[in-house]
Amino acid sequence: MGITKTFLFILLFALILRLSLVFVAYHGDLNNNISWATLSVERGLKGFYGSPDANDWPFSAPNQPPLTILSLAGLRVVYLAIENISWRLNNQFSFFPSTFIWFWEAKGMTLLMKLPSIFADLGIGWLIYKYFEKEGKHKLGLILSAVWLFNPITWYNSSIWGQTDSIVNLLGLIGIFALLNKNLPKFAVFFTLSILFKGSLSIFTPVLLFVAYKQNQTFTRWFQATFYMLLATVFVSIWFHPHIDLPFWLINLYKERILPGEIGYLTANAFNFWWLADSGKTLDSTVYFGLQARLWGFVTVLTGIILVLIWLKHKINDKRIFASLLTVSFLSFLFLTRIHERYLYPFFPPATILLGFVPYLWIPYAVVSLTHLLNLYHLFWAPSLKPLELSFMNPALPQILSLVNILTFVYLLRLFRSSKL
């Protein structure tokens, strides 16, 4: 059937909504991204990561993967090009609106920082629509793409906060759909790009590799997938370290700068199990019952992933794959330490798709959307809603929301166990 006028209207309205919210708030995270974008162009990409000492950087040392920095550099180049062109036009043509120059200098980088995430939102909506259209469920595709595009957690994350979670998940979702179509090389490329942008979807790796293994892919396909994965990794990373020891440098970069994060607490503002245990600034090296909290988190999540794989082994289909992915993402959010509020985002793309197969998932989906939105709002406080801010002054509210998340997770497990997926 192709793209209909109705779907184009949905996309257009979703885009207008997001653009109208771009300048509603300015999160401090944008300072890091804009400074890294500026310095990557001024200093060059080679050796960019340099010193890990925060004092050597305007805001903080870069702790994002190579593809993120590469994209930021690209955005800075676009900013400078538009600035240069607008000045030339302003000098040559009297009718050129000079106010655009002042706007661009003041807010151009903010706009550019948010635009890729906004378009990634639309991209995920398009993938959801195309998936169901391919299954002959055009109307369902329209509904679920609209559910995704107008779920407040998506436009709040991209347009108001300016985070890049939608880009990571778009790349990952392209890879997942490729895997469902048994296109292993395409899966390897896009999932690798997702990890090279940000490691949020690394938690999906055991499930997706298990699915690929059970598909009985040929040796040639595995070889091609591995080759393209390595090629993508080298192409993205070599800009920063053009040396023969690139693989070791990249492993060390992830180990020392990216995976540990900046906050070593039990929870980094995530309403999860560890918030109930201790929402204060308690390090995850704290020992509970003979083990560090961080190890307890790893053991819990690893055990859960193994159980998910055992469940998935009995029958592998699209429904069970998406159910497994949302379960693993929710499990990781609830029980790993050092988790930020945004790290529940990977739950939503597979959950939105699964709504098309499991109608009774709507209630837990709505509940988790609400708790996640409130979690995103907590400490950001944008836009200012005084009654809600005052409500959060009561420590009981975050604890209740954390408990609701855990109970919803348990409900989902019971739901999947009893349903015929």
Lowest mean pLDDT among 52-56, 321-325, 342-346, 416-420: 52-56
* Six-digit token string for 46: 């080679």
pLDDT score, position 398: 97
Q: Is the pLDDT of residue 148 over 70?
A: yes
Domain-located, residue 276? yes
Tell me, yes or no, whether 404 lies in a domain.
yes
The answer to whether position 242 is within a domain reads no
Question: Residue 11: inside a domain, yes or no?
Answer: no
Q: Which residue has the tokens 């059937």?
A: 1
| Average pLDDT over all residues of the chain | 95
Q: pLDDT (tens digit, 9 = 90+) per residue, 359-388? A: 889 999 999 999 999 999 999 999 999 999
State the pLDDT confidence band at 1, using cuts at 50, 70 and 90.
Answer: low
Burial of 5 (0-12, 13-18, 19+ CB in 10 A): exposed
The residues, ordered by sequence, that sit 6+ positions from 376 with a Cβ below 8 Å of its Cβ are: 153, 156, 157, 161, 341, 342
Which 8-state DSSP code applies to residue 55?
Answer: G
CA 87 to chain centre: 36
The DSSP symbol for 338 reads S
Residue 378 lies in a domain: yes
Its domain, for residue 412, covers 263-421
Q: At what angle do helices 138-150 and 98-134 cross, to 10 degrees?
A: 140
Q: How many residues does the chain have?
A: 421
**Rounded CA gap, 106 and 341, in Å?**
29
Inter-residue long-range contacts of 307-314, CB under 8 Å, 24+ positions, other chains counted: 308/207, 309/206, 309/207, 309/210, 311/416, 312/207, 312/210, 312/211, 313/210, 313/214
Report whether 150 contacts 11 (CB < 8 A).
no
d(CA 140, CA 353): 10
Q: How many domains does the chain have?
A: 1
252-295: pLDDT as tens digits: 999 988 887 667 899 999 999 999 998 888 999 999 999 999 99
The pTM of this model reads 0.96
Give the whole-angstrom CA distance, residue 286 versus residue 288.
7
Measure the CA dihedral 85/87/92/97, to 10°.
100
Answer yes or no: is 56 within a domain.
Answer: no
Q: Quick one: average pLDDT of 334-356?
A: 98
pLDDT for position 412: 96
Does some domain include residue 16? no
| pLDDT of 14 above 70 | yes
The burial class, CB within 10 Å (0-12 / 13-18 / 19+), for 12 is exposed
Indicate whether 79 belongs to any domain: no
Q: Does the pLDDT value for residue 192 go beyond 80?
A: yes
Q: Is residue 375 classed as helix, strand or coil in its secondary structure?
A: helix
